[in-house]
A and B are shown apart, each in its own frame.
Chain A
Amino acid sequence: MMALPGLGIVKGMAVTLRRFFEPKATVMYPETPATIPPKFRGRLQLLYDEWGTLKCETCFQCAQACPIECIDMGGIDTKERYHVHWGAAETYGERRDESALRRSGRPVPDPAYERFATPDDLAAVDAILDEHDRDPARMLEILEATQDRYGYLPVAALKRIAHATGAWYAMIYGTASYYRHLRFEPPAGDGAGAPAGGGATAAGIPNETTYLAGLDGALGGAVAGRRPGRRD
């Protein structure tokens, strides 16, 4: 077919002219507010406070609430003692490389959980779970019994509990990280220098002990006999 000189330009100008008279997609924001889909929540972003610390407390409330499960998190907490995660492995940074490996079909070591891949005798967890009917409503009792058995809450045990009760791992982690007496690492030594997030030691509950001592001081020596024995 013979090329007609100038035909290309005409074709191109035709497209231009058609587009020129089409309705515009530009939104005159902010004069005209855009219509936003009801589930739109904006860009996900972790905020820093004025000291440059992440404000995120890894409470997983956002991950739990996310209707399409697009939020997930992973990492080691500020004391570098615990690896938390929620969501697919592919989506967070420090595991992205190995996820690529995993997709390649080769067996991949899991460094995030290696620390916790202890030969935990999970039969004990199963026994505890059966004892409590695998009922997520009795989660506190399950966690307390697990901690009594192991001295702390191993990740492997938490995963088993999540699997058996059907409760989200994130929820169990949320529960376990809330209560002061539940801990994720073995208690250090003989109670001296109790681990942060550890439980009540023989010396009492850390925050309450501080408060009571502070109160005794702040009341200006007005209190006789001090407080009654705290363990009744």
Chain B
Amino acid sequence: MTDILAAPKGAVWPRLLLARAAAADPTDLEAAIKAGAFDGLRKATAELGPVGTMAMLADARLRGRGGAGFPTAEKWRAAAAADADRRYVVANGYEADPAAFTDRTLLERDPYAVIEGTAIAAFAVGADEAFIAVRSEATAVVAALGKAIAEAEEAGFIGPDALGSGRDLVITLRPVQGAWMLGEETVLLKALEGKRGQPEQRPPYPTERGLFGRPTVVQNVQTLATVPWIVTNGAERFRAIGSSDSPGTILVQVRGARRSGVAEVPLGTPLRDVVALGGAPADGHALKAVLVGGPSGGILPADVLDTPYDFDALRAAGAHIGSGSVAVADERACVVDLGRILTRFCADEACGKTIPCRIGTRRLTEIGDRVATGRPRPTDLDLLADLSHDIVESGLCDHERLATLPFTSGMRYFRSELDDHILRSSCPAGVCHPIAVAAAAATR
């Protein structure tokens, strides 16, 4: 199991998602009910009703935790308003980033929160079938969630005639595996339909035409786990947590110099505090860069550490929340080397549907390789900028758009380092070793 990092001393970070994480057996339904599980579902079905629930979420300004930060209530309303005979809810717990364990931690420590959130979503949008998609490789999650769903169905919270409301709600656990892209919503829907996992053009959005052509709400499991808390405690208390335009908390995977683990962080916390969770850099080394957002994340320098950790601020800074991973690099790391490893992973994992992604990310990787191995062309930086712009403009899904972030943020903040590579054939961090050798060979 992944470690859960404690909040720094003096800071009061509320625990919404991991409130019940300390339970001895997370799949013990009775203990979970005592700790408040399924109160939200009862309140949503008995008091609020679908419209009331969605109004409450709109009031709470809850945004999707999957990375893009789309307002949850708007998504649900669109799906509920779409004209269809059936609707679906899909909980996305795939968590593609191999270095992040946030969703897995949540699903493992508190499966009932996700089940309850999924049930509330299904109730609100009028779906009678919901899927929770998780990684097959995370066997502990599959086991815990499978047991929890069975127990909840046994107790009558979900299943036929759920909670005596006269409505059926079948929640199915769907372990999927085999591609990075499955974390993307339309790709996940394709996988659930048993098809090749390639993204679809939007619009129409999944809320209009999603799983099997029916309106579908796809939400990250963290979003769904937040919903019961809001329904139980009210929108006002939720808005008091986090920043004003993105309230609430989010799970962050911190890879620090001294500690690594998952932490629940209020949105809007300065990046500095998030980075501090991982401990100070190793002796004699200074923090150089922070990689925010996983393989397609941005590389931010130490002097923008005051950026609040929320959707819009990070996006403006050239990174994104993405998989919720925050990794720290000290001055022994080279931005070019880091960027090309990230971009290479994104290029390797491209599904191949569109050319900007299939060819574009591959060319980004090649430029990175060129620069790192000492054979750069003088125009490479312009080419990087142009190519990134074209990929962003012509991309089909967010995979390729965000795959440009490592190099665009690298160029934005570490321009001099890139110039050293290209113009002076040297790597300040001493990582790209063959540079001098290659340069000497070129002049001979």
Same complex origin of A and B: yes
Residues of A within 8 A of B (CB): 57, 59, 136-142, 171, 174-175, 177-182, 199-200, 205, 207-208, 210-212, 214-215, 217-228, 230-232
A218 touches B337 (CB 8 A): yes
Specify the chain A residue showing the minimal Cβ separation from B288: A220
Seen from chain B, the residues whose Cβ lies within 8 Å of a Cβ on chain A are: 1-3, 98-99, 101, 104, 108, 136-141, 176-180, 191, 193-198, 212, 255-261, 278-279, 281-282, 285, 288, 291, 295, 327-334, 337-338, 341-342, 344-345, 348-349, 351-352, 429, 431
Given contacts A211-B345, A212-B99, A224-B259, 14 further A-B pairs with CB under 8 A are A137-B212, A141-B194, A199-B178, A211-B344, A215-B341, A219-B328, A220-B331, A220-B332, A221-B330, A222-B330, A223-B256, A227-B255, A228-B2, A230-B98
A–B Cβ pairs within 8 angstroms, 5 of them: A199-B178, A219-B328, A219-B338, A222-B333, A224-B260
CB distance from B42 to the nearest CB of A (A): 32
Among residues of B, the one whose C-beta sits closest to the C-beta of A143 is B194
Q: Which of A142, A175, A211, A221 contacts B98 (CB 8 A)?
A: A211
- DSSP majority for the B interface? loop
- For B3, give its contact among A141, A228, A231 (CB under 8 Å): A228
Residues of A within 8 A of B177 (CB): 179-181, 200
Query: Quick check: A139 and B194 within 8 Å, CB to CB?
Result: yes
Once A and B bind, how many residue pairs between them come within 8 Å at the CB atom? 146
CA distance A211 to B179 in the complex (A): 14
B333 contacts A218, CB within 8 Å? yes
Known contacts: A207-B349, A212-B98. The answer to whether A222 contacts B332 by CB under 8 A is yes
Is A219 within 8 A of B327, CB to CB?
yes
B178 & A219 in contact (Cβ 8 Å cutoff): no
The 8 A-B pairs of least Cβ separation, nearest first, read: A139-B194, A179-B178, A220-B333, A220-B332, A208-B98, A214-B341, A211-B345, A222-B330
Residues of chain A with a CB closer than 8 A to B338's CB = 215, 218-219
Nearest-CB distance from B196 to chain A (Å)?
A: 4
In the complex, the chain A residue whose C-beta lies closest to that of B211 is A137
A224 near B258: Cβ-Cβ < 8 Å? yes
Q: Is the CB of A175 within 8 A of B288?
A: no
Given the complex of chains A and B, what is the CA–CA distance between A221 and B180 in angstroms?
Answer: 26
Closest to B191 in A: A140
Q: Which residue of A lies closest to B281 (CB)?
A: A222
Q: Closest B-chain residue to A178, C-beta based?
A: B196
Given contacts A200-B177, A225-B260, contact A231 B194 (CB under 8 A): no
The distance in angstroms between the C-alpha atoms of A142 and B195, with both chains bound, is: 12
Docked pose: A138 CA to B2 CA in angstroms: 32
Chain B residues within 8 Å of A230, by CB: 98, 137
A214, B341: Cα distance in complex, Å: 6
Q: How far is the CB of B271 from chain A (nearest CB, A)?
A: 16
Q: Chain B contacts of A57 at CB under 8 A?
A: 352
Contact of B257 among A59, A175, A222 (CB under 8 A): A222
